Amino acid sequence: MKGQIQKALSGFYYIYSEGKIYQTRARGNFRKRKITPVVGDFVTFESENLTEGYLLEVLPRKNKLVRPSVANVDQGIIVISLSEPQFSYYLLDRFLVSIEYEGVLPIIYLSKADLQVEDELMNEIVTMYRKIGYIVIVSTEDDAMTKLADLFPHRLTVFTGQSGAGKSTLLNCLMPQLKLETAEISTALGRGRHTTKHVELLAIADGLVADTPGFSAIDFLEITERELAKQFPEFVQVSNQCKFRECLHLNEPDCEVKRQVETGGIAKTRYENYVRFLEEIKKRKPIYKKKR
């Protein structure tokens, strides 16, 4: 039988197949092959009833996120707060780069727009990222929930973003029956406490949505210097006009990306964050295997 893992908990894998959920345990040499089944995996399994099945094989993945651990993700909704915690271009761009790198379609959801947010700031954010080509939804828009729901059919969606931005609150609005736990913002830290205990795929609007733990920092563990610029769509669009094919858009002459920044075609904050990310990647310590 074939199906998809919708929940992994305490050594059990709950597999959805043909309208039913099967509780299974892993059988086989997954550990020897260094394969760990995760939520979202398409798998083969055997089962004579709904509670005593065995997971046999993990089918090839199109992608796999590490934090949260979900496979075969189609799109990621980045929930980023405009206030409490304060909006950060730097943090939003980190999420965008990480999601772009995994081949996941990023969607920006600006939460807490009903709090004390300057219209000028909100309009600047919305205009900038929509110009790049990102889908941007603002929480105060009358049709915000409808816009979100329209994105779900036939897709596996991950909610991610800074802690305390309101991911669980947003899912509770979409599916009130979930009653997901939410937490207050820590005044001292300016961020929320993690409230989601495990990853689970939830059926919403003819699609699957993963409610995932919030985190406020992302490590660029695998992205190389050459790959980084490719995660900025507006850089990719003009980089063929750079003098050098492998231009890093730093000190090279006749760099179209830098020219666009100077003329306002590319947002200065995006370029500054790119430079910061690049420096971080350059300083990343290589991992060496010990000789036996």
Q: Are residues 78 and 198 in the same domain?
A: yes
Domain count, the chain: 3
> Which tokens go with 20?
């039913």
In the predicted structure, residue 50 carries a pLDDT above the cut 80:
yes
Q: Are residues 196 and 231 in the same domain?
A: no
Highest mean pLDDT among 20-29, 67-76, 263-272: 263-272
Q: Are residues 182 and 237 in the same domain?
A: no
Q: Are residues 124 and 200 in the same domain?
A: yes
Q: Is residue 267 part of a domain?
A: yes
Q: Are residues 31 and 156 in the same domain?
A: no
In the predicted structure, residue 239 carries a pLDDT above the cut 90:
yes
Amino acid at 123: N
Give the pLDDT mean for 18-43. Answer: 90
| CATH assignment of the domain containing 10 | 2.40.50.140
Q: Are residues 203 and 78 in the same domain?
A: yes
Domain boundary among 152, 185, 211: 211
Q: Are residues 102 and 200 in the same domain?
A: yes
How high does pLDDT run on average in the chain? Answer: 86
Q: Is 226 left (phi over 0), alpha (psi -120 to 50) or beta?
A: alpha
Task: Kindly report the pTM of this predicted structure.
Answer: 0.85
In the predicted structure, residue 188 carries a pLDDT above the cut 70:
no
Which residues, 6 or more positions from 280, have their beta carbon under 8 angstroms from its beta carbon?
220
Q: Are residues 100 and 53 in the same domain?
A: no
Q: Is residue 205 part of a domain?
A: yes
> Which tokens go with 66?
């590490």
Q: What is the pLDDT of residue 291?
A: 47
